């Protein structure tokens, strides 16, 4: 491990997610998804360049021709060591924010350069658990068997477990199998990063994340679970022949089980998460005229330290040092 990675970069990254959250939260409930996403991207891009790192975006807003900022391959940070991979999700749960619903968050994860998994395949099949169930999951095993193993590892009955699944038609069979196994279900409309993180937190009320969701979100979740000591397995889930060909061209085996270490090979991983709208994981942004309050989580894999950060932001001072993007005000 290099000396430059001994610095807790998560404490610098939280400024980035705070900025994105405050900018996006201004548009809560206004059903303006594109505008909210752009506000978060602008604030995140503006702030991340002040972080002391030489970063390359590997999980971002899309290809360069699709996204003018935070595109895949873009260099971010101020260019100083360390050299890192960067995964950004300015808003996980854009629909949640646009409709004023709970659970929208802003996330940034970094790890050693070359350590974060990348694919153009959009979706992955996922199973994620916390530290007590680490090493017992098998994504290729029946749902009932996985839940039995998880319950045993946690010292519980299957009936005590809560499983989070995205509420999608593709999950009808999965939902039936979880019900037949006897576990409790929590169906969510959007945003599976926060529930994935919650699975890694003791007493969060979430024990398992299952189902098919975004591949970029899987890498972000794996990075957080690496910090929390949890576990995750995934398999690529191509939607059509074109994506099967994409996976082949990338050299990915569709039958391969991707472990948490395949998704995030780094040993020095830093993650920052800030709430945008109120959720079970974090409170959303609160405005009070001259400023705002934010609630965040910052995590570091080497030490296993998890910090809850409550911050009060004074906009009258921030205007002088960070400009209007940081506070979510219009230029």
Q: Are residues 16 and 146 in the same domain?
A: no
Task: Give yes or no for residue 272 having a pLDDT over 60.
Answer: yes
The average confidence (pLDDT) of the chain is 92
Residues 37-63 have pLDDT tens digits of: 999 999 999 999 999 999 999 999 888
Residues 95-125 have pLDDT tens digits of: 999 999 999 999 999 999 999 999 999 999 9
Q: Are residues 170 and 197 in the same domain?
A: yes
| Residue 6 burial (C-beta neighbours within 10 Å; 0-12, 13-18, 19+) | exposed
- Measured in degrees and rounded to the nearest 5, phi and psi for residue 50 equal -90, -10
Least confident range of 1-15, 128-142, 162-176, 274-288: 1-15
Range of 299's domain? 3-116+268-327
Q: Are residues 143 and 106 in the same domain?
A: no
Burial letters 81-114, b for 16+ CB under 10 A, else e: ebbbbbbbbbbbbbebbbbebbbbbbbbbbbbbe
What pLDDT is stored for residue 330 in this prediction? 41
Q: Are residues 257 and 208 in the same domain?
A: yes
Task: Give yes or no for residue 3 having a pLDDT over 80.
Answer: no
Phi-psi region at 203: left, alpha or beta (left = phi > 0; alpha = psi -120 to 50): left
Query: Distance of CA 303 to CAs 8, 192, 228, 295, 299, Å?
Result: 10, 25, 10, 21, 9
Q: Are residues 32 and 92 in the same domain?
A: yes
Please state the domain count of the chain.
2
CATH of the domain at 220: 3.40.190.90
d(CA 90, CA 164) in angstroms, rounded, equals 22
Q: Are residues 136 and 248 in the same domain?
A: yes
CATH of the domain at 83: 3.30.540.10
Portion of the chain with pLDDT greater than 90, in percent: 86
């Amino acid at each position: 491990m290099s000396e430059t990675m001994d610095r807790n970069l998560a404490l610098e990254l939280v400024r980035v997610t705070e900025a994105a959250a405050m900018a996006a939260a201004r548009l809560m409930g206004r059903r303006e998804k594109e505008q909210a996403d752009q506000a978060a991207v602008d604030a995140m891009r503006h702030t991340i360049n002040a972080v002391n790192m030489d970063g390359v975006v590997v999980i971002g807003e899309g290809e360069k021709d699709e996204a003018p900022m935070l595109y895949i391959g873009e260099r971010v940070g101020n260019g100083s060591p360390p050299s890192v991979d960067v995964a950004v999700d300015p808003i996980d749960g854009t629909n949640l924010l646009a409709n004023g619903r709970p659970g929208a968050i802003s996330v940034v994860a970094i790890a050693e350069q070359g350590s974060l998994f990348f694919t153009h395949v959009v979706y992955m099949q996922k199973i994620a658990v916390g530290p007590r169930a680490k090493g017992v999951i098998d994504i290729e095993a029946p749902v009932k068997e996985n839940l039995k193993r998880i319950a045993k590892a946690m010292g519980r009955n299957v009936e005590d477990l809560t499983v989070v699944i995205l509420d999608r038609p593709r999950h009808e069979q999965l939902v039936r199998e979880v019900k037949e196994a006897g576990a409790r279900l929590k169906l969510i409309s959007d945003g599976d990063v926060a529930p994935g993180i919650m699975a890694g937190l003791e007493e969060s009320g979430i024990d398992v994340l299952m189902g098919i969701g975004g591949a970029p979100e899987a890498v972000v979740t794996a990075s957080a679970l690496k910090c929390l000591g949890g576990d995750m397995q995934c398999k690529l889930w191509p939607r059509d022949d074109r994506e099967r060909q994409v996976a082949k061209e990338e050299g990915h085996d569709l039958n391969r089980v991707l472990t948490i270490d395949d998704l995030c090979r780094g040993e020095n991983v830093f993650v920052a998460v800030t709430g945008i709208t109120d959720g079970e994981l974090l409170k959303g942004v609160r405005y009070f005229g001259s400023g705002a309050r934010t609630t965040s989580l910052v995590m570091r894999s080497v030490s296993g330290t998890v910090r809850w950060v409550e911050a009060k932001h004074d906009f009258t001072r921030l205007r002088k040092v960070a400009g209007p993007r940081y506070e979510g005000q219009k230029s």
